[in-house]
Amino acid sequence: MIIKDYVLRLKNISIANLLEVGVKNAFLGEIFTHPILHDIRVPDGFAITSTAFHRFIEYNKLDGVHERLIASLDSGNLASVDKIGQRARALILGARMPGDIEDAITAAYRELCFESSNEVAVRSSPIDIDLLKTRFIDVHDTFLNIKGDKELIEAVKKCFASLYSEKSLINHSNSSAKSISVCVQKMVRSNKASSGNAFTSDPESGFADVIHITGVYGILDKDYQSDLHPDEFIVYKPNISEGLKAIIQKKMGQKNQMLIFRDNSVIQQLATPEQWRDQFILMDNEILILAEWGMTLENYYGSPISFEWVKDGDSNELFLLQAKPENFKKSKNQILI
């Protein structure tokens, strides 16, 4: 039996590892491992692999159990989705993490946080090659401000369980995800600053000469996006390389509400401080940094890019949290099957 890694550092991951770490983690690792992308800042971290997930399932004798549950699913019946989702997730949340996997995760966590604050973000990364063909529809869970070995292991199990979230089950017929990876990264204090999304072509029209950036104060969470009324920035690509004025539109959102997290990692919505509401979330130089990151990625992959960004309220540094080409063109032989 060949023993595979349960944990891989992001700095050792590339798109070749996609079937072990999922689309999100593979593209993050690519930024670490290719020199042309090194100017893009990504929080350091590690991935818990699909091998670890399958070992967890096997250890707890859950092989085939979820498949039988899913076979009885009526995705058009919300009561069926709710019932089966709860049963599927409960099996994982009630299971025990194998000692060898727990040791690998806690060792990587302690190495990651050896000289700094030990809070981490824990994000799901489904193993679904179909995500290379489509825009991300993120239906799996993320847990922020996780601290300590026990809390981390529980967050990893919750990410495993989110493979069977209600939203994931509703989309089940359109998804090939049957496994999942988890990314653990140092926390970026966006709750003290801002976060958002960007596209290197207009997300509605597909117009290729602009970069579209949106963002809010605090944490960007998919379940609250409609309440947050973001700022919006449009950057004209040809003017960046010419050294001309490239920001052609800045639209201020209401930003009356923002999201933070409490010490127990629970996200809370609260009123944005009044002195922040009439200010743009980003300065012009920060808008251009994000635009340049997007262009670097677009040139590297030969494809429009979507990405999620955050600003750290302690260091004032910008970070990229996830990115994906919208039309992935790299050779399939780079993905090891």
Q: In sequence order, what are the beta bridge partners of 48?
A: 7, 182
Decide if 47 contacts 181 (C-beta within 8 A). Answer: yes
DSSP state of 116: S
pLDDT of residue 101: 96
* Cα 275 to Cα 79, 191, 193, 278, distances in angstroms: 45, 16, 13, 7
pLDDT of residue 137: 58
Q: 72 CB contacts (<8 Å, ≥6 apart)?
A: 80, 84
Give the DSSP per-residue string, 232-293. Answer: EEEEEHHHHHHTS--EEEEE-----EEEEE-TTS-EEEEEPPHHHHTS-SS-HHHHHHHHHH
Residue in this structure with the two tokens 């966006």, named with its chain if needed: 190
pLDDT in tens, the chain (337 residues): 334 689 999 999 998 999 999 988 999 999 998 989 999 999 999 999 999 999 999 999 998 888 888 887 776 777 878 888 899 999 999 999 999 999 999 999 999 987 666 899 999 998 876 666 655 556 688 898 899 999 999 999 999 999 988 777 776 544 455 889 999 999 998 888 999 999 999 988 889 999 999 999 998 876 666 667 899 999 999 998 888 899 999 999 988 888 888 766 678 888 988 888 899 999 999 999 999 999 999 999 999 999 999 999 999 999 999 998 876 555 444 544 3
Give the DSSP per-residue string, 43-56. Answer: --EEEE-HHHHHHH
Which phi-psi region, left, alpha or beta, contains residue 316 (left: φ > 0; alpha: ψ -120 to 50)?
A: left
pLDDT of residue 270: 87
Mind listing the pLDDT tens digit for each residue in 115-131?
666 899 999 998 876 66
pLDDT of residue 315: 93
What is the three-class DSSP state of 123? Answer: strand
What's the rounded Cα separation, in Å, for the pair 19 and 335? 7
Task: Give exposure, 103-114, as e/b (b: 16+ Cβ within 10 Å).
Answer: ebbbebbeebbe
Alpha carbons within 13 A on the beta-carbon side of 287: 26
Q: H-helix or E-strand containing 105?
A: helix 99-112
Mind listing the pLDDT tens digit for each residue in 169-213?
776 544 455 889 999 999 998 888 999 999 999 988 889 999 999
Q: H-helix or E-strand containing 7?
A: strand 7-9
Cβ of 180: how many Cβ atoms within 10 Å? 25
pLDDT of residue 332: 43
